[in-house]
Amino acid sequence: MTARPENAHQARILRLLRTDGPRSRAELGDVVALSRSKIALELDRLAALGLVRSDGFAASRGGRRSEIVRLAANLRFLGVDIGATSVDVAVTNGELEVLGHLSRPADVRDGPTAVLDQVLEMVAKLRADGVVGEVHGAGIGVPGPVSLRDGTPIAPPIMPGWDRYPVREAMSQELGCPVLVNNDVNMMALGELHAGLARSAEDFLLVKIGTGIGCGIIVRGEIYSGVSGSAGDIGHIRVDDHGPVCACGNSGCLEAYFGGAALARDALAAARSGRSPFLAERLAEKGALTAEDVGAAAAAGDAHAVGMVREGGRKVGTVLAGLVNFFNPGLVVISGGVAGLGHALLAEIRSVVYQRSLPLATGNLPIVLSDLGGTAGVIGAARMVSDHVFSA
């Protein structure tokens, strides 16, 4: 049974130690606004619960030196990031530093049993490596809409077989710890908030451009999920009434133009028609094309591929300009596999947003590429479940 804080003060102390690292008793007392005797009482209780430990003494502020407190060394969270084409599993300590991280190719269309079995195998591998002992909580991100109340995917367009599958219940039983499930894009946004470029941002947007396109919304340091959990599903905003048919069944969605599958489709057409010599050569070599090939072609200066990236960037930028007008974020982080298309894409998105959004909204609005690589989703998933475990 995972130990939990007994009251709101203890929960606040645990979250502070998680996010800011070790602190002296005096500093904690200042931040939590508790008297010296009250903070000592709460810290003693947390130590008795096995959640915090002593870590030496701080330099004197005049008078007695204050004891340094940090989270218990054996706290472990699992962060699981189930993508359309890969599974990542990481184990972190209480401060959410990654102690071990495995990434394997996987097809989410194989269904929940196969994919979750693979997750459990990866956890077992991390256990065998000695980085996981007792697990205090696991967060799981999946590439589709999730009912937060039930911990189940709901009619996810790219996850056949997962509709209403009890992911939270099944994994909680297997792992023997609290489990929370959420959309993968929300997890990436939390990862950026904890460890990425959004560390000092309270209100920001994380736009993921991968197999699908989605947006994580952070308001006052927390995920905004909407009433039923589907906030930020920008991939299905219509950008053209007569556009290509989308996986969701509608037509002209942003994702149907610039998601990973759409790019692969357009790359194939460009290769076959001879419009892109680079992609034609790739296709002859490999027999198939992906969004990464478009990135490689653009990087190599293939004019048609550069055009594809620019056109996609313009469409993303158009949708994002509307979001910026509506939400007035302090930062926009662009992430995901297709974001690997890099600075050409970023330049196009920036130019459209700065041109089309209101000056007051863009006056001080950085639009940046994530620097967390593949770890944002797992760190965010661990952060989500740590918020739950570190609550009264």
CB nearer to Zn ion: pick between 236 and 350: 236
Q: Tell me, what DSSP letter sits at residue 74?
A: T
Site for Zn ion in 146-185 (CB under 5 A): none
Per the listing, tokens 């209101």 go with 358
| Shortest Å, Cβ 236 to Zn ion | 4
Size of the site for Zn ion (CB under 5 A): 5
Closer CB to Zn ion, 42 or 255, in the complex? 255
CB 160 within 8 A of CB 111: yes
In degrees, to the nearest 5, what angle opens at C-alpha 164 toward C-alphas 162 and 170?
A: 80
Amino acid occupying residue 344? A
Return d(Cα 57, Cα 350) in angstroms, integer. Answer: 48
Which residue lies nearer to Zn ion by CB, 246 or 382? 246
Amino acid, res. 268: L
Interaction mask 55-94, Zn ion, x per CB under 5 A: ----------------------------------------
The least CB distance from residue 364 to Zn ion, in Å, is 33
Residue closer to Zn ion by CB (options 22, 244) is: 244
- At residue 262, what are phi and psi to the nearest 5 degrees? -65, -40
Closest distance to Zn ion from the beta carbon of 312 (Å): 15
Contact between 253 and Zn ion per CB under 5 A: yes
Furthest-apart CA atoms within the chain: distance in Å: 79
CB-wise, 13 or 316, nearer to Zn ion? 316
Gyration radius from the chain CA atoms? 23
Give the separation between CA 184 and CA 75, rounded to whole angstroms.
24
Phi-psi region of 195 (alpha: psi -120 to 50; beta: other; left: phi over 0): alpha
Dist. CA 56–CA 104, nearest whole Å = 40
Q: How far is the CB of 175 from Zn ion (least distance, A)?
A: 33
Strands (E), 211-295: 213-219, 222-223
Is the CB of 151 or the CB of 259 nearer to Zn ion? 259
For residue 117, give the H/E element and its range: helix 112-128
Q: Which of residues 338-377 bind Zn ion (CB under 5 A)?
A: none
CB of residue 256 to Zn ion, shortest distance in Å: 6
Range in contact with Zn ion (rule: CB under 5 A) among 162-170, 222-230, 253-261, 320-328: 253-261
Residue closer to Zn ion, measured from CB, 103 or 251: 251
Residues 191-250, interacting with Zn ion (CB under 5 A): 236, 246, 248, 250
Rounded least distance, CB 259 to Zn ion, Å:
9
Show the tokens assigned to 112.
Answer: 């929940």
Residue 22 CB, nearest distance to Zn ion (Å)? 47
As measured in angstroms, the least distance from the Cβ of 234 to Zn ion is: 10
Looking at the Cβ atoms of 90 and 261, the one nearer to Zn ion is 261
Q: How far apart are CA 25 and CA 67, in angstroms?
A: 6
Question: What is the layout of strands, in order, in the sheet containing 204-209?
Answer: 222-223, 213-219, 204-209, 332-335, 367-369
Where on the chain is the footprint of Zn ion (CB under 5 A)? 236, 246, 248, 250, 253
